[in-house]
Amino acid sequence: MTAQEMRGKGQLRIFASYYKPHWKLFALDMACALGVSAIDLAFPYASRLSLQKLLPQGLFAAFFAVMAIVAAAYVGKGVMYFIVTYWGHMMGVRIEADIREDLFAHLQELSFSFYDQNRTGQLMSRVTSDLFEISELAHHGPEDLFISCVTLIGAFCVMLTVRWELALIVFSAVPLFAVYTTIMRARMVKSSKQVKQTMAGINAELESSLSGMRTAKAFANEEAEIGKFALSNEKFRQAKRGHYRNMGFYMGGLEFTMGILPVLVITAGGALIMGGRLDYIDLVTFSLYVTTFITPLRKLSAFVEQFLNGMAGFSRFVELMTTQPEIVDAPDAQDLGPVTGDIELRDVSFRYHPAGEEVLRHISLKVPHGQTVAVVGPSGGGKSTICQLIPRFYDVTEGAVLIDGKDVRTLTQKSLRQAVGIVQQDVFLFAGTVFDNIAYGKPGATLEEVTEAARRAEILPEILAMPHGFDTYVGERGVMLSGGQKQRISIARIFLKDPPILILDEATSALDSVTEYHIQAAFDQLAQGRTTLIIAHRLSTIRSAGRIIVVDENHILEEGTHEELLALGGEYAALYHAQQAVKA
């Protein structure tokens, strides 16, 4: 089910919709559950029949036939329990997998701003531990509820035929159970949600600590990390304590109700026997049905806890699924189509948050197709933000960004981003092989294509020298490679993608001067006939740019060629001379 289909629907209706693709397994599970209930109900009746008629009348053959049927029924019950346990759990696993798939697909649709505001560990908790309890509820919930209701109703009907006074005593426990459960439910829902939230906090703290393990060790801050984790763990412990305290009150009241029932039945039955209105066989039969009656009540109590935990997780799932991405395709969005590569920023202003400061203020810029434009300036001046607006990672606050004269907000995100290749300053490599990470630029690429991309990125000799060549494992986030190798692999992705628009955000920042020179030559070749934007701190890498834009304090300060800006003697000249002085 998509996020759009979920909007406006109740949680139980959404939950029920996940059974539809697996209705055959669900029907099999319920049929077996019905069979189990029927067998449990039949045994006390068969016992009563044997004790009252078959044995006293000497019908021994019939007695052994009934017992054989009962034994066969219990063999069938064992088979049905296998089906319920195996296929029922498999149904729950399939539903869990469907939910996880929908959630992951929705996470792919959410905008950059969502990930700016949410920690990775908390999102991981929602995709993993929350969904496990949903799986358990999906399997056991309907099954336990169905078995309990069938058994309760069946047992009550049979007990009415034995002695209605005792049946009413037993059945009086049901409304008491319902009222007590309702009272405790609100407390347990609240505490269950709190446990989920604190568990997500632990996952977030764990993910952050493990990702930054090298930094922690570099600063000898292991104790500080242990302390931060201990705080989160203590919150979890307290949340669990409150949850189990509420559960303790609930289970204590339940056990009292379950325990007092046999006492009441024996007491009332004894009084009826004393008055000659009940015989011992009926009392024994009734006692067996009381046991049968208590079992579903216990199942219902387990169902309540399971329902609370599962729906707490499902509530968080629905909350995340109904979160709308800030960047969405317009209803009439069109594909970009054949790309010329003209870029225009028309009176653009931008802020990351509605109440935040403006990062860009009334910037206008035109980049004709095939031109290479460099954007320079001090950190925080808005250089990278300009490049993030072009592929529409964020939407402008005012003004418009246009590609080939088309407002990017009127285009499909997929077609727009397929036309733009980005090499970012913060290189991210997936935990896989070198081949996988380069081929990410063109899924389905051949070894020859990947090899050519690596050659053009000046990384091929180093790859071939690795233990397994292109099949070498790069580690988590590429930790087994040097900074320069990671950067060049990310550059190889762009060579493979071969887009009409290039954005190089500090693309050579991690390279030594010699390798940077070769890469720059490759970039110059790749940029021919394409529109290229270069974000750079090192001004030596942008001399060949057709135009240089100097951005500072949210707006464009200067614009021109390298020579023109040096002659102007402004901000660019100051930056250039400062870097030259550092080199000297």
For residue range 179-196, list pLDDT tens digits in order: 777 677 667 767 776 776
DSSP symbols for 239-274: HHHHHHHHHHHHHHHHHHHHHHHHHHHHHHHHHHHH
The pLDDT confidence band at residue 114, using thresholds 50, 70 and 90, is confident
Neighbour-count burial of 4, counting CB atoms closer than 10 A to its CB (0-12 exposed, 13-18 middle, 19+ buried): exposed
The mean predicted confidence, pLDDT, of the chain is: 80
Cα dihedral 146/150/152/157 (nearest 10): 170
The pLDDT confidence band at residue 207, using thresholds 50, 70 and 90, is low
Question: 333, 142 in Cβ contact below 8 A?
Answer: no
**Cβ contacts of 209 within 8 Å, gap of 6 or more:** 216, 225, 228, 229
Question: 130, 313 in Cβ contact below 8 A?
Answer: yes
pLDDT at 215: 62
Helix/strand/coil percent split, the chain, to 5: 65, 10, 25
φ, ψ for residue 326 (rounded to 5)? -70, -30
pLDDT at 584 > cutoff 60:
no
Neighbour-count burial of 415, counting CB atoms closer than 10 A to its CB (0-12 exposed, 13-18 middle, 19+ buried): middle
Question: 438, 450 in Cβ contact below 8 A?
Answer: yes
pLDDT at 95 > cutoff 80:
yes
The residue type at 501: I
What is the spatial distance between Cα 262 and Cα 169, in angstroms, rounded to a whole number? 10
Q: In angstroms, what CA-CA distances link 114 with 1, 32, 123? A: 21, 45, 11
pTM for this model (two decimals): 0.68
The residue type at 107: L
Q: For the segment 141-168, what is each residue's pLDDT rounded down to a tens digit?
A: 787 888 888 887 887 787 777 777 777 8
| Domains of the chain from N-terminus onward | 3-321 (1.20.1560.10), 333-379+392-412+503-509+531-584 (3.40.50.300)
pLDDT at 360 > cutoff 80:
yes
Question: 305, 247 in Cβ contact below 8 A?
Answer: yes
